[in-house]
Structure 1
Amino acid sequence: MRGVAVALVAALVLVTGCDTGSGSNPAEPAVTPERGQLRVGVGNPIETTPLRLAVADGSFARAGLDVRLVEERDGQDALDGLTTGRLDVAFATDETLFTAVARGTALQLQGEAYTSAPYTVALVTLPDSRYTDLASKKAPKIAVSADGDLGTLAARSIFATAGGDPDRIKFVTRRYEDMPAALDDGTVDAALMVEPYLAKIQQDLGARVLADSFRGATLDFPVSAYASGALFAQANPRTLAVFRRVLADAQQRAADQSLVRAALPRIAGIDSTTASLVALGQYPTSLSGVRLQRVADLMHGMGMLDGRLDVSALLPHSAGS
């Protein structure tokens, strides 16, 4: 009888130990990571709010991961961090990541950070600008944060939808903080801005929205994601599985926008009034190859990628389609 009891206990341990379903508590490690520390690059504070909150509240620590956040200057800084080994996981726009892959950088996606909603990114002008109709300028000068990034794709898409020729847009790269000055001195006709800079320029300068960037082909559009180098992902599958699991839970909690807005004054360095005004998108709880393929296909259609990119090849084997 004692042998039967021992066998039953062993069977129960085996069954419960194999239960790694989505309903498990993220605070209880389902697997043992290969490493205890993960250096994760972060950028736009709104788009990375769930990750930042999960680090601050100890969610990653309880799952066995010491996540160290490293502030990135921009998407290229993030990719450089992965290449040099300064970062293990990096945040960037989907456009930045897909452009890097098309140029030969081996990456694996680890989570979607942010998906658009109306007026989360918009083309703006100052109140006294005579540029009031998107189609009225055949070759507008538009400020974007980086050439070939989200702003470039969004501006080309909305300009094409308005009946213009996106190839005639003259893009001028400026940091978001410097775009108001570029609008004021006439360097650009309009600026493609994201939150929280969008809410701030409207609040401070009365900026006018010339066009919402996420309509038509870009409605509910994927914006940004987290990625690691392919070799790092191959060597650390359990570590990254834990990262994805805790991130997914944090993204789910961020569906409560009040939690995000309450955190923005501390995370984004904006006042509570601006935090209450920013337009918020969605925080996906899973990697979707189908959803992300929209970005790659639109980039290809707009001439930003020479060939069609198969996004499913960039997903971890455990991720859904």
Structure 2
Amino acid sequence: MKVIGPAFALVAVLLASAGCGMFGSGDSPQPPPPERATLRVGVADPIDTAPLRIAAVAGKFRQAGLNIELVDLGTTDGVAKLSAGEVDVTFASDVSLFHAAAGGTALQMQGEAYTSSSNTIALVTLPGSDYAEPTAKKTPRIAVDNQGDICALTARSVLATAGVDPAKIRLQASPFSQMPQLLQAGQADAAVMVEPFITRAEKELGAQILVDGSSGATLDFPSSGYASTGAFAAANPRTLAAFRRVLTQAQLAAADPATVRDALPSFSDIDQTTAALISLGSYPTTLSATRLQRVADLMHSSGLIPNRLDVQAMLPAEDQQ
């Protein structure tokens, strides 16, 4: 019978210890990288997209393995650029996204961008206007940036709540920057403006708010979001999951209004004084089918889309709860 010596026993113990380190649980494996290194994201309204822009400049997406290429949409249709393959994810108003979805465009929501709050969207008049109450005119002429988008939906909703027949509201399209001239010329009774145009009109022209657009059925109303095509989402789930994680962190950071106000002048024509004065909404940190369904249902009841849209079906699988 062979006796194991002390030296041999020590070696055995060391090998056993090494084996635990080599084959034990150790560090968890790194998750697979995103399917693509670069993600082209269409951006527009600087206030709505502020958290995303701030995170991109700070390198937050790069830290998550994504090179974010921001594509300024200007006044072009983000959904059209998305469908044409010119961007991978686009920013747009929720109304615009749901209108496209109702028309057959397969979209997947990737995040909520912005939610309205007090006076972030409003019907505005100028001093001396004879339109001092929402019901003062039976057939009011209302300037909106787009007759089929969120400003038009808001105008019809708040005026109907006030007692105006929606069928008698006369909408006319005008860029936000030209709305003051329409009001001054008497070509519109009121204009639906968003920030920073509301604050600028108040500062420069003494404009007055006829009715807050964030009230009644549009109180704290979801305004805008980010979406990809359904096909892109199916082919790039890890890429978009990484995008959503960083966007969530960015939206959380924007809960401090100073973060947004301080950054706005760096990527927009909003000066520091105006940035300090504007009314700010909120930046959702989750995709909520219940919250977004409010938009789709109001669009349906207002006749903007013919059938009720199931928003939950447009969310990533992990958000379909």
TM-score category, normalised to shorter length: over 0.9
| Residue-by-residue CA offset, 1:239-275 (whole Å, 9 max, x unaligned) | 0000000000000000010111111122221221111
| Residue-by-residue CA offset, 1:117-150 (whole Å, 9 max, x unaligned) | 1000000011121111111111111111111101
* Amino acid aligned to 2:23: A
Task: State how far apart, in whole Å, the 2-side matches of 1:162 and 1:267 are.
Answer: 38
8 Å contact kept, 1:150–1:223: yes
Aligned to 1:290: 290
| Residue-by-residue CA offset, 1:262-311 (whole Å, 9 max, x unaligned) | 11122221221111110000000110101100111111111112111000
Q: How many residues align?
A: 305
Q: Trace 1:232-311 onto structure 2 (pairs within 5 A).
A: 232-311=232-311
8 Å contact kept, 1:31–1:242: no
Q: Secondary structure at the match of 2:154?
A: helix
Task: State how far apart, in whole Å, the 1-side matches of 2:85 and 2:288 are.
Answer: 27
Pair 1:51-2:52 in alignment: yes
| Residue-by-residue CA offset, 1:97-134 (whole Å, 9 max, x unaligned) | 00001111111000000011100000001112111111
* Amino acid aligned to 1:5: G
Pair 1:107-2:121 in alignment: no
Normalized against structure 1, the TM-score is what? 0.92
Task: State how far apart, in whole Å, the 2-side matches of 1:320 and 1:196 are.
Answer: 34
Aligned to 2:197: 197
Pair 1:73-2:89 in alignment: no
Task: State how far apart, in whole Å, the 1-side matches of 2:38 and 2:224 are.
Answer: 23
| Residue-by-residue CA offset, 1:174-212 (whole Å, 9 max, x unaligned) | 111111111111221110000111111111111110000
Pair 1:3-2:19 in alignment: yes
Task: State how far apart, in whole Å, the 2-side matches of 1:270 and 1:102 are.
Answer: 34
* Amino acid aligned to 2:317: H
Task: State how far apart, in whole Å, the 1-side matches of 2:238 and 2:21 are.
Answer: 32
Q: Trace 1:24-43 onto structure 2 (pairs within 5 A).
A: 31-43=32-44
Task: State how far apart, in whole Å, the 1-side matches of 2:207 and 2:56 are.
Answer: 35
8 Å contact kept, 1:286–1:320: no
* Amino acid aligned to 1:3: G
* Amino acid aligned to 2:50: T
Aligned to 1:212: 212
Task: State how far apart, in whole Å, the 1-side matches of 2:291 and 2:283 are.
Answer: 13
* Amino acid aligned to 2:67: D
* Amino acid aligned to 2:283: Y
Structure 1 stretches lacking a partner, 5+ long: 18-29
| Residue-by-residue CA offset, 1:76-102 (whole Å, 9 max, x unaligned) | 620111011111010010000000011
| Residue-by-residue CA offset, 1:27-69 (whole Å, 9 max, x unaligned) | xxx5511000011011110000000000101001111111111
Task: State how far apart, in whole Å, the 2-side matches of 1:128 and 1:266 are.
Answer: 36
- Structure 1 residues 159-168 or 117-126, which shifts more? 159-168
* Amino acid aligned to 1:228: S
8 Å contact kept, 1:122–1:194: yes
Moved segments of 4+, more than 4 Å: none
Normalized against structure 2, the TM-score is what? 0.92
* Amino acid aligned to 1:234: A
Q: Secondary structure at the match of 1:114?
A: strand
Select 2:27's aligned residue among 13, 23, 43: 13
Q: CA deviation at 1:3?
A: 3.2
Pair 1:229-2:243 in alignment: no
Aligned to 2:187: 187
* Amino acid aligned to 1:61: R
Task: State how far apart, in whole Å, the 1-side matches of 2:42 and 2:227 are.
Answer: 10
Task: State how far apart, in whole Å, the 2-side matches of 1:71 and 1:145 are.
Answer: 18
8 Å contact kept, 1:287–1:320: no
Aligned to 2:130: 130
